[in-house]
Amino acid sequence: MIAWMRRTPLWVVTVVCAIAAGLLLVGAVAHVTDLVRHGLQGYDWAPRWLNLYWSSPTLLDPLAAALLISGKRRGTDLACAVMTTNLSARASNG
């Protein structure tokens, strides 16, 4: 459990984790939709490795949501890592 979770009222922790998990699951649905519509090469201009990376949140987002809801620090770490690297990759490539 993350330190702020121990010092914060349970209802606040529950709401914050539920909202974050919900947003992660919305992101996963968006990635599944992209995969169904465009396959693994959804961006013609992007290199293959980048296209594959942008498909990885299909699995990583629900995993982060599940870890987050269970109160695991790894859920927060995974969510931050996926979002940071995803946004960095998008910003640097168009």
- Does the pTM surpass 0.85? The reply is no
Average pLDDT score, the chain:
86
Give the per-residue pLDDT at 6: 76
Q: Look at residue 1 in the predicted model and tell me its pLDDT.
A: 54
pLDDT of residue 19: 94
pLDDT of residue 20: 92
Per-residue pLDDT, 43: 80
Question: Tell me, what DSSP letter sits at residue 39?
Answer: T
Q: In angstroms, what CA-CA distances link 31 with 12, 14, 50, 65? A: 29, 26, 14, 15
